[in-house]
Amino acid sequence: MDGTISAAGITGRTRVYGILADPIYHVKAPAVMGALFARHGVDGVLVPLHVTADGLAAVMDGLRHLRNFGGFIATVPHKTTMTGLCDALTREAEQIGAVNCVRREADGRMIGTMLDGIGFVEALRASGLEPRGRNAALAGAGGAASAIAFALAEAGVARLTILNRTAGRAQALVDRLRAAYPTLVVAAEGAQPDHDLLVNGTSLGMRPQDAAPFDLAALHDGQFVAEAIMEPEMTPLLAAALAAGCRIQKGLPMLERQIALMARHMGAL
Amino acid sequence: MDGTISAAGITGRTRVYGILADPIYHVKAPAVMGALFARHGVDGVLVPLHVTADGLAAVMDGLRHLRNFGGFIATVPHKTTMTGLCDALTREAEQIGAVNCVRREADGRMIGTMLDGIGFVEALRASGLEPRGRNAALAGAGGAASAIAFALAEAGVARLTILNRTAGRAQALVDRLRAAYPTLVVAAEGAQPDHDLLVNGTSLGMRPQDAAPFDLAALHDGQFVAEAIMEPEMTPLLAAALAAGCRIQKGLPMLERQIALMARHMGAL
């Protein structure tokens, strides 16, 4: 057993799960979830489901009527729209205003949750960094960054600074965080050297020509630098952090943690 | 390579197919199609989709919007209803009034066909029996039997006798066959010893207490006896036929032939 099951192992009793995305070709979840199912002896299979925004409501309605369908992962560009298509949302999905995993209940009801941030925090803890009491800076105010921000707040960081090129978006996220966590010290600006936890929640670093999400020259040892980007595995930010003597966390562990959380939300584990 | 692919082999580029049924637990198509895909290097996976009659229209509409979905096998109890849900039917599906395989075109249109009978005839030919010019008797006038009847007519049997406990149903099938094949000699009665090809298209023989679909005492060598039942593999009819010196064909080759025809209809091969 090498963590794989044979497709010939799919029977009439196998439970089906999906990942909804557009485009679909790049998704890694079928392989990662397949390996998780195999490790845990789960008789399930997760398949790619390519759906565009205009077909999403019809696909959701069809999936409601598939009685052996356990749920799905939702990714770009469906995370926000999905909040309006689910029958109920977890607190995380409500707060963040986005859904990345949906459980289909036996009666066809769809329960959405948002695990991007929780997966990130679990990965941090697995790397030995407890966020509680930390002074964190987060680059970005989009979907992934918002999820990470709420999860860091929930995990009890002492201060959270949101850095974003569009100041209005950063302030909007700060306002939402303040409403949900009144005792959290949160701001849309701040000097980087003060922070002991730096998190990149933007897409900056995916392409070689991207600007850095933080001032790389100001990185110093004692800081922990975490990345949400999975490809490339070693972003310029992570490389600079390593060179400056920081501890780092790559993007992939966040996905791996999430896959297990997703399997649990969908009732597969 | 032992005819299997690993579930870890499902990627974002894997094309998805389904089998729609209620109940679903007993379906064999995911394994058989999986093995066929593996043999031919097809990057596809066929999953069980459990849908009841009341959810069928919604599921069809959802599947139309899944852009990497190639099509599905339809089985009990959806074969007849499916004729009204497809956008177009092949001649076989029109004639028989049932659909057992649907291709999803790139624009979401659903094209239904009926391959039960053609699969049966292809399996006969593979066994060395050419139906053309034969004097055939068929037990049954239901869905499977109708499909076999039309395929035998299309294959050019000289005479076709339909035997059915409900005479009205047999006559209705005879009338439809006559309309489609005016030169075929077809009747709803007839003496068994005249026939050189006997086909069981009923479910008689699945349970030990079932009556025989033909008069077993009248079987004699020179006859070819074919079975549509897959379980048990050796029905009382086949056992009696072997004992009488007949050549026989079991039910499974019909399914195996069909799977390849279905893969072709869905554009996978």
pLDDT in the model for residue A194: 83
Rounded Cα–Cα distance for residues A238 and B17 (Å): 41
Alpha-carbon dihedral of residues A245, A251, A252, A257, nearest 10 degrees?
100
Chain B residue with CA closest to A67: the answer is B50
- Do A4 and B9 make contact, defined as CB atoms within 8 angstroms? yes
Determine which of A36, A67, A102, A231 to mutate to test the interface with B (most B C-beta atoms within 10 Å): A67
Residue B80 in contact with partner chain A when CB distance is under 8 A: no
Residue A36 in contact with partner chain B when CB distance is under 8 A: no
Q: Is the pLDDT of residue B1 over 60?
A: no
Please compute the mean of the pLDDT values over residues B102-121 and round it to a whole number: 96
Q: B268: which chain A residues are within 8 Å (Cβ-Cβ)?
A: none
Q: Is the pLDDT of residue B189 over 90?
A: no
pLDDT in the model for residue B86: 98
Q: If 0-12 CB within 10 Å is exposed, 13-18 middle and 19+ buried, where does residue B53 land?
A: exposed
Regions of chain A with pLDDT less than 50: 1-6, 8
Choose, from B29, B37, B51, B79, the residue flagged as catalytic: B79
Q: Which DSSP state fits B106?
A: T
- Do A12 and B26 make contact, defined as CB atoms within 8 angstroms? yes
Question: Domains plus CATH for chain B?
Answer: 7-114 (3.40.50.10860), 117-251 (3.40.50.720)
State what percent of residues in chain B have pLDDT above 90: 83
Closest CB to B63 among A21, A30, A62: A62
Q: If 0-12 CB within 10 Å is exposed, 13-18 middle and 19+ buried, where does residue A246 land?
A: buried
Residue B182 in contact with partner chain A when CB distance is under 8 A: no
B212-267: pLDDT as tens digits: 999 999 999 999 999 999 889 999 999 999 999 999 999 988 888 999 999 999 99
Which residue spans within A128-250 are E strands per DSSP?
135-139, 159-163, 185-187, 197-200, 224-227, 247-249
B20-70: pLDDT as tens digits: 999 999 898 999 999 999 999 999 999 999 999 999 999 999 999 999 999
- Are the beta carbons of B268 and B70 closer than 8 angstroms? yes
Rounded Cα–Cα distance for residues B55 and B165 (Å): 33
pLDDT in the model for residue A144: 86
Longest dimension (CA), chain A: 58
pLDDT in the model for residue B8: 47
The one-letter amino acid at A134? R
ipTM exceeding 0.90, yes/no:
no
pLDDT in the model for residue B2: 34
Closest CB to A38 among B7, B38, B61: B7
- Do A68 and B10 make contact, defined as CB atoms within 8 angstroms? no
- For tokens 């009923």, name the residue: B202
Dihedrals φ, ψ of B258, to 5°? -60, -40
**Any alpha helices (H) in A106-235, and if so which ranges?**
116-126, 143-154, 167-180
**Residue A79 annotated as catalytic:** yes
Mean pLDDT computed over every residue of chain B: 92
